Amino acid sequence: MTRSRFAVLSAAAFLFAMPAAFADGDYNGTWVVDVPAAGYIQYSGEYRCPALRFPLQISDGRVAGTLERVPSDDPGVTVEAGSGQASAPVTGSIGADGTVTASWLNYHANGQLGANEGTVTIDGECGPRNATVYRVK
């Protein structure tokens, strides 16, 4: 009788753990990150750090992409998806609950994703900026 209880409890624990273990796939796809401008310079009416928009891929709990700095007419530089010699990889992970962490060069991001959107705080040269993230369908 004790063995059968143990077997039932073990099977139940395994079944309840399965959705959490496989939930990483729920976030698979292309996501776009929108970062607001920062570092407003009052005398010039411009931002030291322009707004950014770039795509990232999520697959099986991993965040991936390749970004590069691109000269811009705006003050500073912009960041775009890239594959040239100046590009660098984005690496990160996403938990079953949607908690995401990622890094690119000296930028670090932490946040929370929902089914199709979320928010992340990106900390880099301009200090922390709150960005929105949404899934591209």
pLDDT in tens, 74-105: 655 577 777 777 788 999 999 999 999 999 98
Name which of 35, 31, 38, 50 is nearest 100 in CA terms: 31
15 belongs to a structural domain:
no
Torsions phi, psi for 78 (to 5 deg): -105, 170
- Please give the Cα distance from 94 to 57 (Å, whole number): 11
In a domain, 37, yes or no: yes
Question: In terms of DSSP bridges, do strands 107-113 and 117-124 run parallel, antiparallel, or are they unpaired?
Answer: antiparallel
Side chain identity at 86, as an amino acid letter? A
Could you tell me if residue 80 is inside a domain?
yes
Task: Band the pLDDT of 122: cuts 50, 70, 90.
Answer: very high
- pTM value is 0.73
Does the residue 46 lie in any domain? Answer: yes
Quick one: pLDDT at residue 14?
A: 33
What's the CATH code of the domain at 67? 2.40.128.120
Inform me whether the pLDDT recorded for 25 exceeds 60.
yes
What mean pLDDT do residues 47-60 have?
Answer: 86
> CA-to-CA distance for 65 and 77, rounded, in angstroms?
19
The domain containing residue 82 runs over which residues?
A: 24-135
Question: Over 80: is that where the pLDDT of 61 sits?
Answer: yes
Angstrom distance (rounded) from CA 25 to CA 14:
18
Greatest pairwise CA separation for the chain in angstroms: 80
